[in-house]
Amino acid sequence: MTTPTQKAAAKKAPATTPATKKTAARKSTAPAKLAVKADESPWTKAELAEVRGDLNADRERLRSELNLAEHELHDLMRDAGDGAGNDQADVGSTTFERDHEMSLANNAREMLAQTERALARIEDGTYGVCEIGGEPIGKMRLMAFPRATLCLSCKQREERR
């Protein structure tokens, strides 16, 4: 049972946690402590900015490539649908084109996913760690190939399978 005064008190106490602005000094400009090989120097802000810039640019490019390929594919599928009267050669070349567009789209989609994962890993600080072995991928390799999620030896092992 609540008395009127208790009610009033409850009403009067809205959760006004004083406006502590979340300027909680998280230095977002400093590069996270990302993994590097033992003989490599830590990531500098500039290096990280470069890699991130590359990844962002790749993401934009891949998105539009994917978009384009999916559009082409859509058109090809539609044309195939009303393909009455196509002779055999037309059908063959359409199939070829469609397979081609499909592999372009798949390729772009896969690279886009890799690029987005790399960007996410920069954010969460796991960028540069091999996804199989957990060892540092190496800054040099990442600067040359920013999407890399595997160290070179794991990558080569994967490819041999």
In 3D space, the residue among 137, 140, 139 whose CA is nearest the CA of residue 155 turns out to be 137
Select the residue interacting with Zn ion from 51, 122, 148, 151 (CB under 5 A). 151
CB of 40 to Zn ion, least distance (A): 15
- Kindly state the tokens that stand for 90: 């037309």
Nearer to Zn ion, 64 or 156 (CB): 156
Nearer to Zn ion, 66 or 130 (CB): 130
CB of 81 to Zn ion, least distance (A): 46
Binding mask 127-146 for Zn ion (x = CB under 5 A): ---x-xx-------------
The tokens 């969460």 sit on which residue?
124
Question: b/e for 108-139, b at 16 or more Cβ within 10 A?
Answer: bbebbebbbbbbebbeeebbbbbeeeebbbbb
Q: Does residue 32 belong to the site contacting Zn ion (CB under 5 A)? A: no
Interacting residues toward Zn ion by CB under 5 A = 130, 132-133, 151, 154
